[in-house]
Amino acid sequence: MHVTAIIAAGGRGQRFGGTQPKQLRAIGSRTMLERSVEAFAAHPRVDDTIVVLPPEMLASPPAYLRDRPGVGPIRCVAGGARRQDSVANAFRVISDATDVIVIHDAARPFVSADLISRTIAAAAESGAALAAVQATDTVKLARRPLRSPRSGGSDESSDAASSEIIVESTIPRETIYLAQTPQAFRRDVLAAALAAGARDEREATDEAALVERAGHAVRLVEGERSNIKITVPDDLRSADALARDGKPARTGRAGTGYDLHRLVEGRALILGGVAIPSDRGALGHSDADVVCHAVTDAILGASCLGDIGRHFPDSDPRWKDASSLDLLQRAVDLVAADGLEIGNVDVTVILERPKIAPHIQAMREAVARALGVDVSRVSIKGKTNEGVDAIGRGEAIAAHAVALLRSRA
């Protein structure tokens, strides 16, 4: 069974306020969008993920929305005027192989892998399913009373009357469930619901409502109280508490890396995954990228996992002419398995010539993509050795790196 996840993040969070979209607000060290996307992209039952973004974000999506080793493919599409329009935009680009679509609000960043699995399984069996929690408070149906105009009444009394709300009836709370996401649907069920929604001027607040209107039964899956939705700024306090709850204090772990290669004619000079125009390049078993090698060693050292030679030895033909960016990504996956993520890296390249200043931004961007972090967390700078020793004579190139890792929150 092929499962595609759609993360609904196309709104602008007007009730939340602020100058940036709500889904880009940080909870701990990660945005709510990153937390929600990772929950699905890394899930073993999910084959690919489509993220619906505000149109202005498509040109430069965050680094964590680019494909990374260890997670399924991630694709971004523009949102529409209504929620059902946004989901329809994503539905149009799903794989022909897709059997089940699971949809989740980016504003619910604490969804568990178990809830995702249970919702997918229920939809595969019944056609449509949504996570929901049963109401625990007594539920009242309310109404505003009809009042006849009264002559001579003050404006103040009229305002009070218009705001009055009274209880119409008490609804048995055992019949009330509060809808959450994820919501999952077989492909044919969602296709019919979206087609009907496109013809309907009414706005649906979730996909289950569209499916209900189309006449299909929706199964309830027991949701989770911790699967909160962040709607207003006050919700961030609860989210921050959830991010910290039961987890050790976030600690930093530092590592250093160093690499040196001889420079020879007939080799390309690759630094930070970028080809630098030069009459000589670094000699090595892989592409001899000293920037990536030094950062890889620093990351492995911070997590006490040895060095690059231990994991990618030059005696192994698999790494012959390998891209060092690929080796760096593999190192990131190794430390992620230990519950660590990249805080920042700082690299110093020591090279007499050519000057690398014109290429530093491209190098930073390439390394940031490999690390799965924003480019603001990557520093690369160039120095010479002032004519001293082999590096100063132009016979070699070296790099020093420092990496800070931290536990994931």
Please give the pLDDT value at position 25: 86
Please give the pLDDT value at position 16: 65
CATH of 252-407, one of 3.30.1330.50, 3.40.640.10, 3.20.20.150, 3.30.360.10: 3.30.1330.50
Q: What is the pLDDT of residues 288-301, one digit of tens each?
A: 999 999 999 999 99
Query: What is the C-alpha to C-alpha distance for residues 84 and 194, in angstroms, rounded to an integer?
Result: 7
List where CATH 3.30.1330.50 sits in the chain.
252-407
Claim: this prediction has a pTM higher than 0.85? no
The answer to whether the beta carbons of residues 224 and 213 sit under 8 Å apart is no
Q: Does residue 246 surpass a pLDDT of 50? A: no
For the residues 68-90, what does the mean pLDDT come to?
84
Half-sphere exposure of 50 (CA within 13 A, CB side): 22
Please give the pLDDT value at position 10: 85
- Strand, helix or coil at 240? helix
Which of the 8 DSSP states describes residue 277?
P
**Helices of type H across 71-224:** 83-91, 113-126, 155-162, 187-199, 207-213
CA distances, 182 to each of 21, 72, 116, 141, 232 (Å) = 21, 18, 7, 27, 20
Please give the pLDDT value at position 201: 77
Q: pLDDT tier at 66 (50, 70, 90 boundaries)?
A: confident
Q: pLDDT tier at 248 (50, 70, 90 boundaries)?
A: very low
The answer to whether the beta carbons of residues 33 and 106 sit under 8 Å apart is yes
Q: In 64-188, which ranges are E strands?
A: 74-78, 100-105, 128-134, 139-143, 166-171, 177-186
List where CATH 3.90.550.10 sits in the chain.
3-135+176-244
Q: pLDDT tier at 102 (50, 70, 90 boundaries)?
A: very high
Q: What is the pLDDT of residues 126-146, one digit of tens each?
A: 999 999 999 988 999 998 887
Highest mean pLDDT among 240-244, 266-270, 315-319, 332-336: 266-270
Please give the pLDDT value at position 335: 87
Q: Does residue 245 surpass a pLDDT of 80? A: no
Q: What is the pLDDT of residues 26-63, one digit of tens each?
A: 888 788 999 999 899 888 899 999 999 999 888 888 88
Q: Does residue 397 surpass a pLDDT of 60? A: yes
The CATH class of the 3-135+176-244 domain is: alpha beta
Average model confidence (pLDDT) across the chain: 87
Task: At 152, list the tokens.
Answer: 């001579």
Please give the pLDDT value at position 147: 65
Please give the pLDDT value at position 150: 54
For the residues 240-244, what does the mean pLDDT come to?
77
Kindly report the length of the chain.
Answer: 409
Please give the pLDDT value at position 149: 55
Highest mean pLDDT among 68-72, 165-169, 398-402: 398-402
Higher pLDDT, 61 or 354: 354
